[in-house]
Amino acid sequence: MSENLEIIKQKIKKAKAIVYFGGAGTSTESDIPDFRTESGLYNQPEFAGRDPQALLSIRTLYNEPELFYAYYRTHRLFPKAKPNKAHQVLARWEQEEKLKAVITQNIDGLHQMAGSQKVLELHGSVHHNYCTECQREATLEEMTDPGRQVPVCRYCEGMLRPGVVFFGEPLDQKILHQAVEALKAADFLIVGGTSLVVYPAAGLIDYFTGEDMLLINRDTTPFDNRATWVIHDSIGEVLWQLAKT
């Protein structure tokens, strides 16, 4: 792998428009579980007899909000999580004007916490919340008020909800368009920590027409044969090595 890393490092130095497309594996090194690995959400015991996809659905949010929030607060909110090496390297590359965009399927906001500015959140963010009645923006603290099973607006008493795209909801078309444009303009694509089986997000890779694609993921993906290099290792460690001068 060391030989490949040197080649990739030289390619990155020459690149003028890097885009990072990341999934849950980008944040596992910040102790946020992913979905499909052995310790991921899909392999944990059912919660109240439901699987994660049913619990994190728009139907459960509106029809059974108490159940939804009992699961969401304990399995999708990680207020103590900090950016890891991957987030830090990507933020540094953006500051150096090499990285043009981060396209993420994550909702944790760790890219922004590390300093990244151009972050396209395909599935929204736990840090963007609002009232379903008056549309007022709400803080994360309001969403986690231990005194209420279901968070409500302090002004109109309407139910608060996360600005997250849940199962059964469409992706934001504006964010999708921006992601497509970023991928079309990229000359180097780094894909990290995603199984590339969830659509329409995985289909965005098709818009990349640049020369070099680096795919970093612990398990194989349907796109391995399309990547220039595939590395099955820690995303943080690989990016950290590539960022060394």
- Catalytic positions: 123
Indicate the residue type of 201: A
For 87-99, b/e burial (b = at least 16 CB within 10 A) is bbbbbbbbeeebb
CA distance 68 to 235: 31
Of 167, 139, 168, give the one whose Cα is nearest residue 153: 139
The whole-angstrom distance between residue 99's C-alpha and the CA centroid of its chain comes to 17
